Structure 1
């Protein structure tokens, strides 16, 4: 199986797992951590391309699990996290990882946040090294072993 197909299959499996847990993923901590994760993956290489920003925003709004929350609220939180990363990537990343860490108290939510990062990163078929690295950092912020997610 080609790498492209494995990435797409992995992202698809993660999405299916998230949908199965949809009713358990309704807390504010999960919402905030998910939007921080989406922003972190979108800006993984230290810059935010407008087309990538738009692509990730579309993925957020079409994601069945995230439809538990108002779209305008998700957009605002996603944009706020992107703004932090745009202003100063290294400093912003610290704040964004702190936001992600809010989901640490509930292991199911913490795992779901990582899965969302993988879904977002793999949606274009190229879950590249920088995206994998920031999701791995998020694993540490959440107290989860990266190898659990093949990172």
Structure 2
């Protein structure tokens, strides 16, 4: 199976798992960690051009699991996080990882945050090395083994 096909299959499986747990994923910590993860993936290479921001914002707005939260609120949180990352990537990344770590208190939410990162990263068909690296770092912040997610 080609890498592209494996990536699409993995992202699809992650989304299916997330949807199955949708009703459990309603806390503010999950919402905030998810938006931090989305911002990290969008700016994984240190920048987030307008088309990348728009693409991820659209994915956030249409993600079934994230519909537990008001779309305008999610978009605002996502944009604020990306702004922090683009202003000072190193400092912003530390801030995002701290926000993500707060979801570690609930294992189902922690895993869901990582799965959202993988779904967002793979949505364009190319889960690049920078995106994989930030999702891997989020795993460590959450106390989860990256290999559990194929990272």
Q: Aligned-pair RMSD on alpha carbons?
A: 0.4
1:105 aligns with 2:105: yes
Aligned to 2:89: 89
Q: What displacement does 1:38 show?
A: 0.1
Cα-to-partner distance string for 1:13-40 (whole Å, 9 max, x where unaligned): 0000000000000000000000000000
Cα-to-partner distance string for 1:98-134 (whole Å, 9 max, x where unaligned): 0111101000000000000000000011001110000
TM-score w.r.t. the length of structure 1 is: 0.99
Cα distance in structure 1, aligned partners of 2:47 and 2:102: 25
Aligned to 2:65: 65
Cα distance in structure 2, aligned partners of 1:17 and 1:88: 34
Q: Secondary structure at the match of 1:40?
A: helix
Q: What displacement does 1:49 show?
A: 1.2
Cα distance in structure 2, aligned partners of 1:100 and 1:35: 9
Cα distance in structure 2, aligned partners of 1:46 and 1:94: 13
TM-score w.r.t. the length of structure 2 is: 0.99
Gaps of 5+ in 2: none
Aligned to 2:38: 38
Cα distance in structure 1, aligned partners of 2:65 and 2:29: 14
Gaps of 5+ in 1: none
Aligned to 1:148: 148
Cα distance in structure 2, aligned partners of 1:50 and 1:76: 15
Cα distance in structure 1, aligned partners of 2:129 and 2:86: 20
Aligned to 2:131: 131
Aligned to 1:23: 23
After TM superposition, which residue ranges in structure 1, 4 or more long, deviate above 6 angstroms?
Answer: none
Q: Secondary structure at the match of 1:46?
A: coil
